[in-house]
Structure formats: C-alpha cells, structure tokens
Amino acid sequence: MRASYTFNVTPSLPPRLERLRELAYNLRWSWDHETIALFRRLDRQLWEDVGHNPVVLLGKIEQGKLEEAARDEAFLAHLDRVCCSLDQYMMEGGWYARAHDDADGLKVAYFSAEFGLTECLPVYSGGLGILAGDHLKSASDLGVPLVAVGILYQEGYFRQYLNADGWQQEQYEDNDFFNMPVAPERRENGETVKIEVQYPGRKVRARVWRVQVGRVPLYLLDTNVPENSPDDRAISGRLYGGDLEMRIKQEVLLGVGGVHALAELGIEANVFHMNEGHSAFLALERIRRVMEQRGASFAEARELTSAGNVFTTHTPVPAGNDRFPPELFMKYLAHYVKALGLSEKELLGLGREKPESNGEPFCMTVLALKLASHRNGVSALHGKVSRRMWQGVWPNLPEDEMPIDSITNGVHFRSWISHDLADLYDRYLGPKWMEDPTDRWIWDSAENIPREELWRTHERRRERLVAFARRHLKKQIVRRGGSSVEIREAEEVLDPEALTIGFARRFATYKRADLILRNPERLVNILCNKERPVQLIFAGKAHPRDNYGKEVLRKIVHMIRDGNLRRRIVFMEDYDMAVARYLVQGVDVWLNTPRRLLEASGTSGMKASANGAINVSILDGWWWEAYSPEAGWKIGNDEDYDDRDHQDEVESNALYNLLEQEIVPMFYNRNSNGLPVEWISLMKSATRLLCPAYNTNRMVHDYAEKFYLPSFHTWAELKGEEMTRAKLLAQWKKLLHSMWREIEVEDVQVENGGELQVGEQIKVSARVALAEIRPEDVAVEVYYGRLDSRGEIADGKVARMEWREQDGNGGHMFSGFVPCAASGRNGFAVRVLPNHCDFGRCYEPGLITWK
C-alpha cells in the first residue's frame, strides 16, 4: 500500500545539543577524529551498529541519553570545542586564499560518477570514487573554490556475500536518503530544487540533493521522483548497473543534468573538471548553452568552453572507457545536431579517433580529450601509457608530445591515518603535518619517533585488525548458516603477532589477486612456518558480470578451507571504506600485483604507507615513480612478456623469493628488546620519502596550479569583450583547416652534416610553402634525437626554426640549429604546426606537416 501522505521525522535534540545536527550533516566529521569521538561518546555501541552514521545515531539514540549528555559538563565542553573548531575551519580561507588572492572569480565544478566520502554514504564502488571523495576533502582543506556534481543512487553499489561454495553473490539495498548525511536542496520558499533533462521523446525530472563536505558542496541528482516513469526513476538506481543503454542514460543525467543543476542553483562555474569520461556530455551541453545565450557559432562556443574544461583519465583498461554504438548515441543525443548546428557525422566525429569512420563507436574518453584544454593521467607512467593509447586523436604527432599530462594521485591523510598514529605524528612531527602534508622538512622528523613507541603503536593496530577480522568472519559464517564449529574456529583465525600481508581492491582480472597463490606448496611453507608465521588478509569485490574475477575469489576461499591455511588466510566480505581503514592501518605489508601498464595509479598502497605499512608491488602505477629500496620492495623490474603465463610464473617466483629471503627475515629479526630494528627503520624512511608526495593536498595543489588557474585565465580572456578573442581564435582555426593541405616543406638543406662531434651543432634551412597563411601563424621546427634500430627518432626534442625571408617564388625560408648532445646515430625531421600569437603552439588534430 503506497502512502497517501509523506512526512519526515527528525531527531528531538535538547537545545544545548542542537548543533550536533549541523555537525552530522557536514562531512568534515568523517576526517576529524575529535568529532567522531564526540558522536561515539554518545553511545559507543550504537555508533558501531549504525555503521558510523551520525544522522541515524541521533535518530535512534535513547532520549534519556541525549538529556543526560545535555547535563554532562565534560560532554558539553567537548561539543563546544568541536563546534569552535568547525566554525574556525569554515571561516578560514585556506591555502588558496593566501596564495591566490589575485585570482578572484575561479569556480571549479568537479564531476564524477561516484564519490567515496564515508561508508554511510554508499555511492561509490572503489578507487575512482574514493579518489574523488579525497579530492573534495583536500579541496575543502585548501580552500579551493570548488563545487562537485554526481548522482545519488537509490541502491548504490552492491553488497557482497559469498555462498557456501565461495561464489560471490550480489545484494542491493535501498539507500534511505532521509537517514543519511544528505539533504534535499531547497529554494528560498522551501520548494525542493528539481531539474529537467531531455531524453528521447520526453523530459526526465531529477531532484537535487546536497552533501556538505567541509567547505565544498556536493550536489547529487536523483531521478526517483513521482513525476517520472518507473523506467526513468531507475536511471539513478544502481551505480554501474544495467546494460549499455542504462549507462548512457546515467551519463546524460550526470553530464547534461549536472550542468542544468548548477545553472538552476545560480552557480556560475567556469572550470569544469571531468573525473573520468562518464561526465563528458557536459562539454556538449556547455557549448549549446553558450551558443544559445550569446548567439555564438559552434566553433566560437567550442573555443570558449574547451578553454575551461579539464579531463582526467583513470584507466587504460578498455572497459573503463565507455563506447556507444552510433545508433544508441544518436537515440539519446540527436537533438544536439540541431542545437549545435552540426551534421550527424560531425557530432559523432567528436567522439571518434577517426571522425570519417562511419562504423567507429562514440567514445566518451575521445570526446573529453577533444573538448578539454588540459588532460592528464593519474601517475607518471599512466601519463605515458595514455599518450600511447590515444595517439589516434592527434595523428602524426610523436607519442611523447601528445597533449596528455600527468598528475599523480594521492590520498587524504586525515581520513586514512589512524587516531593513535596521528597522535604520534602530533607529538614528534608537530600538528603542521595535517595542515601542510606536502612539507618534506616535517616528514624528515619521522626519524625522531622512538622505535619503541612506533612499534607498539603499530602492534596495537595489528591487534585491532585481527580482532576486527575475527568479528567480520563470524558474521560472514552466521549469515550463510555456518556451523557452530566454524564460528568457534573464526575466533582463532590469524595471529595478532604474525607478519600480516593485506591485499584489498577490485577483483578485476588484471589485478591478479591469485598471483601469490600460484605455487600453493611454496606458499604453505611461507605461511605455516612455526618460527616465523605469515598471514594473508584478502578483501575486494568482483564486478557482477566478471566471472573470471569471481572464480579467482572462489579459488581463494577454497584454499582457505585447506586445513593448513584455515588460520593463515582470511577473506573479508563486502569490502568498503570501514574495512579498508582497518586493513591499511593494521597490516605490515601491502601487496599489489597488477599486470604491468594496466594499473593507472593504485591509491590503496598510499594509504597503507601513510600508516607505516611497507609496499611490495609490481612496478606499475604510482609505485613505478615512488619505488626506492628505502621505501619498500619491487616485484620484478620493468619487464613485459608476450606470454602472460610466463610473466605470471616469473613474477610469482620473484614475490616468493622476496618473502623468503628479505621480507620475512627482516620482520622477525629482533633485538634484545624484541624490536625489529631494520623493519622499523624501513617504516620511518618510507614515511619520510612517500608521505610528502602522495597526498591529495599535493594533488589538488597541482590541479589548481597547473590546470584550474591557467584554464580560468584563458577562459576569462576568451570570454571578455563579447567573446571577441574566442571568435578570432575560431576564425583563425577555420582558416588553418581550410588551407592546411597547401602547406608543404619543399626543401631542407643541411649546412654541415656528416660526421660531427658532441657539442657541435648542425645548421638546418627549410623552404616552406604557406599559401595564404602568415609565417607567424605557424611553428616550423626541427624534431631531432637518437635513432632506434628501426630508424625512428627516440626521445625526440624540438628546436624552433626562425623565419628569415620570403623568396621571389613565394616560398618562406626558415633556419635553425640542431645540437649534437650525444654520440651515436642521430637524425631529425622538419615539421610545421599551427602557432597562435597569444596561445602558442597548437596541437590541432590533423594540422601537422612533416618532411
């Protein structure tokens, strides 16, 4: 029976405790230990029972306990202290206000399909969402003027449980938005803010919700409203749920609906950050709005909006780069043909590497790459992989010059470092480690932490992890109807003093969760050594349609049931942020074994290292740039094998060798006080080397300095004076595209070629036919470097050639010098690219001529 009337019931708080409501609805509590301690103080057991959700806590707690707290002077003093801290935090400007008081006007809109902020707001699936959540937290801490946009999923991502055979099952649970730290956004008259988004033959309504993340507002869209049909209400149903058509529906809601929502709220963002390609339709909607509001052409609006678009790609795995068949794309986006004044083929071409290819699917990543002014991978190695992967977008441009940069991911320390380790850092590093975790001088003080204190703190956290794992395992067994014997055995799994290795992440094929299981006999010998025991804790979810990932998970469960390993290996179901915190704070070793070049970054290892765990990883993602013998261990080197089975064999043996010969001996080599001195030294050096670089304060600082502010300044220049400069830029590019085919490097002369010595230089002259294009509108360059075995220029460098004169036949003479920096076989080629007087060299697809 459906309700005829609806109403909301809110907690009844004594007046003196009223500000608890405000604290509950600002997610700063999720990274502020003092606020968490305040809520836990009200009812410690209830805090755990409600999944660390302060909104539910305040709704379920006995009224008598609230009245008692309102009379408790100690609790009230704690409350006042926390409220004062929040007030001060909200009023301060942060780093951005101090460093960029002259950059008034920047407003960043950060779009992501998922946000992992806290376990009681389950609208995330894994690393992408948690990275987005940490991005917002650091943007808040730094005071970067940013708002965020996402989707409020009715069922979120699935809850995981295993059947009796160890096969993953998925369970979806309704999110009760009215018992979560999220509130409907309202107009001044109290009316709920809703938007409309165009879908085939209809408009879909979406309600706007708000999550306050410190200083940053996050707006989430929800189509589960009475005005919509059942099918449309399901658009915001499940994260990554449904088929390809549901995916495009959600991405229209996120990208197009997100732009609508900001406009409806009166938020005039000027830099739009697309966190992965899911939100790339926002670029089309921004162009449409500028054309409609300013009477601009498509080309003019594209120049203006692209200047303010930033795109971060997160994965080289094909499944992570959405592609839609042309007919499906046109079903949902056909109205943009008329709105943008394009042909159907031109619109589809925006999402194709080869625009002329009629059969090529429409790729969201390609759309974002083409319509952004700044693009990046999420580690130095991922930047290189991305440049290679997307060469087709800029044909004929050398791989190392692809306009895809890299900003390495980080983690939000306050959210992930345990309370007791944070106290230790406070004592020996000073409180500034939280305020400015990028300061290397602060982390050098980690060497001053007494060995005994650091190790005892770490041991307490391992004991806490083991206790949590036992409780978690018991719940798993009870849930699937296990026997009383199994339940008793769960109380004895793991050893709180044994070397503990953690492996927790998505169970995707390339993550190779089973690499350490490849030689069971050798693994048993390592784990079950009575003098030097080792234990493994696994956690993670396989995608509902990834049967291979589920099979790997089942393989682990069956291995656990081996009598020798029952106490040495644990799999913890339903991996979420709460499980992740226990793991990264309590393990000794963090294991990462992806297939090389497929791990874009890997932030879980950063969380572990910030908590004193030592990374053991394949040289991929962040570890490729972070690895040092003083920070942890590498599995293998940079080798890549064509035979994947052989690669797995080589790298699993390398892992076993590390465990047997280095890791286990170092952990159990104790001094007379029972301390593993060498291990503790490695913990300290890893902290000193890794913490200043791999945090989201550094990451967001990089985005602000390298992308947000330059994008904003360019956007402001193009927008000024009725978009005069945007119009001129569009006209300039139109001229170049119409005449570029007439450009030709007709002749190249070398003045002093042949045998040369290091330190000399070659003078190069070129005659270039430019037709009607002015010399100042092109950059004529020498691209030079060492030649590889195929005669290709490797690690090419660029030398600019200067215009000298126009000869009598209309040709333009350019000359320059090529330095001979290294011995060996070298070579060069001459090329012509567009060059704008204000914006410099342009990497415009198709506009490059070589000789």
Q: Hey, what are 601's tokens?
A: 């970054």
Q: Distance (Å, rounded) from C-alpha 177 to C-alpha 74? A: 33
Do residues 799 and 781 touch, judged by C-beta distance below 8 A?
Answer: yes
Looking at residue 4, its pLDDT comes to 59
* Model confidence pLDDT, tens digit, residues 488-527: 989 999 999 999 999 999 999 999 999 999 999 999 999 9
Please name the helix (run of DSSP H) or strand (run of DSSP E) that holds residue 604, with its range, or none: helix 604-610
Comparing CA positions, the residue from 713, 498, 572 lying closest to residue 168 is 572
Pairing of strands 374-377, 405-406: parallel
Residue type, 847: L
815 within 8 A of 830, measured Cβ to Cβ: no
Per-residue pLDDT averaged across 577-589, rounded?
A: 97
What is the C-alpha separation between 210 and 522, in angstroms, rounded? 52
- pLDDT of res. 841: 86
Q: Is 386 exposed, middle or buried (0-12, 13-18, 19+ CB in 10 A)?
A: buried
* Percent share of the chain, pLDDT over 90: 87
By DSSP bridging, strand 271-275 and strand 108-111 are: parallel
Whether residue 7 is predicted with pLDDT greater than 60 in this model: the reply is no
Residues of the chain with pLDDT > 70, as a percent, come to 98
| pLDDT tens-digit map of 699-746 | 999 999 999 999 999 999 999 999 999 999 999 999 999 999 999 999
Q: What is the mean pLDDT of residues 609-627?
A: 98
Angle at 435 between CA 429 and CA 438, to 5 degrees: 75
pLDDT digit string (tens) for 409-465? 999 999 999 999 999 999 999 999 999 999 999 999 999 999 999 999 999 999 999
Task: Please state, in angstroms and rounded to a whole number, the distance separating the CA atoms of residues 466 and 483.
Answer: 21
- Cα 797 to Cα 795: distance, rounded to the nearest angstrom: 7
Least confident of 197-201, 805-809, 832-836: 805-809
Average pLDDT over every residue of 602-611: 97
| pLDDT of 3 | 66
Q: 383: buried, middle or exposed (CB in 10 Å: 19+, 13-18, 0-12)?
A: buried
Question: Which segment of 194-208, 479-493, 610-624 scores lowest on mean pLDDT?
Answer: 479-493
Q: How far is CA 465 from CA 122, 126, 460, 582, in A?
A: 22, 21, 9, 6
Whole-angstrom distance, CA of residue 9 vs CA of residue 21: 13
Instruction: Decide if 57 contacts 50 (C-beta within 8 A).
Output: yes
Q: What is the pLDDT of residue 101?
A: 77
Q: Are 255 and 281 in contact (CB under 8 A)?
A: yes
pLDDT of residue 319: 77
Q: How far apart are CA 183 and CA 769, in angstroms?
A: 63
pLDDT band at 469 (very low <50, low <70, confident <90, very high): very high
What is the 8-class DSSP label of residue 238?
Answer: B
Q: Kindly report the length of the chain.
A: 851
Mean residue pLDDT across the chain: 94
Q: Where are the beta strands (DSSP E) in 278-424?
A: 309-312, 323-324, 362-363, 374-377, 405-406
d(CA 351, CA 659): 47
The pLDDT score that the predictor gives to residue 476 is 92
Quick one: CA dihedral 837, 842, 845, 850, positive or negative? positive
Rounded CA separation 785/805 (Å): 27
Q: Is the pLDDT confidence value at 773 over 80?
A: yes
Nearest of 383, 381, 284 to residue 594 by alpha carbon: 381
d(CA 107, CA 308): 10
Tell me what the mean pLDDT of segment 152-180 comes to.
93
CA distance 560 to 567: 8
Q: Which one has a higher pLDDT value, 838 or 315? A: 315
Q: pLDDT confidence of 210, banded at 50, 70, 90? A: very high
